[in-house]
């Protein structure tokens, strides 16, 4: 896939919520939003940021983007920063909703110009209340033809944490996931395929950050990546005279 544009990137960033939800303000998420927007622009995405959207606003925006013509674009990226809960629940400003709503409009049937193109979702949210305690280990030395496709293929979803566990966020520096993601992409975005870069991101999350609870126990975090990709993704640099971009592997 070689297209003129990288594609749309939507950032839904939630700091404040309706008081009826009894949810704490997400301090530090403004840092995440600024850093991620800058990183994605360097990756040649067309970025739009949507702060503290209500559920209806999120739904309308996703439906609007799904209906657009993406034929000249490589891919789609959606990032969500919010509170979450066990059972696949995330929060808009005014209510909870199921996380699957974020990608249900982008199946091959509903968004035809994104068919066979990567649809990337980055979800920074808790998925429960459990904390992931650290464990000390020792390392060992040493063509154009018509094809039939699954309706839900070419999705790549990265959650900041595994099911039933909390997700950490620093009030000064932002969430562990987006600190790691931005650092990896700023340094390595052209060096490897995107799924491998997300694996690098998870390594940084697991090794660079530690949180000690009130009992002094060290806690860590691991992201969770689900891939339905049908090919490798490489982000080459864009220029006015180049259409090199999100390319499949020849293997």
Catalytic residue, chosen from 3, 14, 70, 83, is 83
Could you give phi then psi for residue 8, rounded to 5 degrees? Answer: -80, 145
If you compute the radius of gyration of the chain from its CA atoms, what whole number of angstroms results? 18
Separation between Cα atoms, residue 140 and residue 19, nearest integer Å: 52
Q: Select from 22, 114, 15 the least CA-distant residue to 62.
A: 114
Tokens of 234: 């490489």
Concerning whether 83 is annotated as a catalytic residue, the answer is yes
Length of the chain: 251
Q: Which of 153, 142, 169, 51 is nearest to 109 (CA)?
A: 153
Catalytic residue among 126, 153, 224, 246: 126
Decide the pairing of beta strands 218-220 and 132-133: antiparallel
Residues assigned a catalytic role: 83, 126
């Amino acid at each position: 896939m070689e297209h003129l544009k990288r594609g749309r990137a939507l950032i839904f960033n939630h700091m404040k919520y309706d008081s009826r939800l009894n949810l704490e303000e997400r301090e530090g998420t403004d840092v995440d939003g600024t850093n991620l927007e800058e990183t994605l622009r360097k990756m040649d995405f067309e970025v739009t940021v949507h702060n503290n959207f209500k559920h209806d606003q999120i739904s309308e925006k996703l439906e609007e983007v799904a209906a657009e013509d993406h034929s000249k674009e490589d891919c789609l990226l959606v990032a969500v920063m919010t509170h979450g809960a066990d059972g696949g629940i995330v929060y808009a400003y005014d209510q909870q909703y199921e996380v699957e709503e974020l990608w249900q409009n982008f199946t091959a049937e509903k968004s035809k110009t994104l068919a066979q193109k990567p649809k990337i979702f980055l979800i920074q949210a808790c998925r429960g209340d459990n904390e992931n305690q650290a464990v000390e280990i020792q390392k060992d030395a040493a063509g154009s033809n018509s094809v039939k496709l699954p309706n839900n293929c070419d999705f790549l979803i990265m959650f900041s944490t595994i099911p039933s566990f909390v997700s950490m966020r620093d009030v000064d520096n932002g969430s562990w996931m987006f600190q790691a993601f931005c650092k990896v992409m700023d340094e390595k975005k052209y060096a490897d395929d995107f799924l491998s870069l997300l694996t690098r991101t998870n390594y940084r999350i697991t090794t660079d950050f530690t949180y000690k609870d009130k009992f002094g126990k060290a806690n860590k975090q691991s992201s969770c990546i689900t891939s339905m990709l049908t090919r490798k993704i490489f982000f080459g640099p864009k220029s006015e005279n180049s259409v090199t971009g999100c390319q499949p592997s020849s293997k």
